[in-house]
Amino acid sequence: ATQGNMGPAAFWLLLFLLKNPEALAAVRGELEPILSRAEQPISQMTTLPQKVLDSTPVLDSVLSESLRLTAAPFITREVVADLALPMADGREFTLRRGDRLLLFPFLSPQKDPAIYTDPEVFKYNRFLNPDGSEKRDFYKDGKRLKNYSLPWGAGHNQCLGRAYAVSSIKQFVFLVLA
C-alpha cells in the first residue's frame, strides 16, 4: 500500500479536488471546523489525531470515489478444484486445480453502470448518504452488494496496509489543503 499505491492515490485525490470546485469547497468546509479547534497552528502539526481523521466523511467519500475511478489492483486466486467456467456468450473455459486466476476489479464492480449512475463521472458525494453519513448500501439487480468497490481487495486477502494508507493519504491531503 505505501510504496505502490499511496502516492498515486494522493495525486488522483488532489487532482479530482482541484478539477471539482464543489468537491474542494465541501472538503475545505469539513476541515475548517477542525482547524479552528486545533490546539496548535497547522504549520506546527506533523500528524493529526486518529479521531480527527475518523471524523471526515466528505474527505472519505472523495477518497473512495477517487479510488473507485483510478485504482487498478488485481486479485489473484488459486483454483482448488477442476472446474468448467461457462461464459455469457456460450463459450466454456476449463480451469484446472492449481491454475492461477486474476480478477481485475477496476473493470468489474467499480465502473459497473448497474451499480453506479454515470460510472465514468467523478461524484465526490457518491459515498455519502443525504444525512452526511457514509453510504454503504449499493445494489445490483435488486441485491445489496457486499463488495461494491475493491481498491484494497476483499475478504481475508484485503490489503493489510489499507488503514495506514488511508490515514497517510488523509493526513497529506489535510496538510496540503490547510
Binding residues for heme: 159
End-to-end CA distance of the chain: 25
Is there a contact between 75 and 105 (Cβ–Cβ < 8 Å)? yes
The b-or-e profile of 123-134 (16+ CB within 10 A means b, else e) is bbbbbbeeeeee
Is there a contact between 150 and 72 (Cβ–Cβ < 8 Å)? no
Any bridge partners for residue 101, and if so which?
77
Quote the CA–CA distance of 47 and 141 in Å, as a whole number.
Answer: 43
Please say whether the dihedral angle defined by the alpha carbons of residues 132, 135, 141 and 144, taken in this order, is positive or negative.
negative
Q: Which three cell numbers stand for residue 108?
A: 468489474
Helix axes 162-177, 21-37, angle to 10 degrees: 90
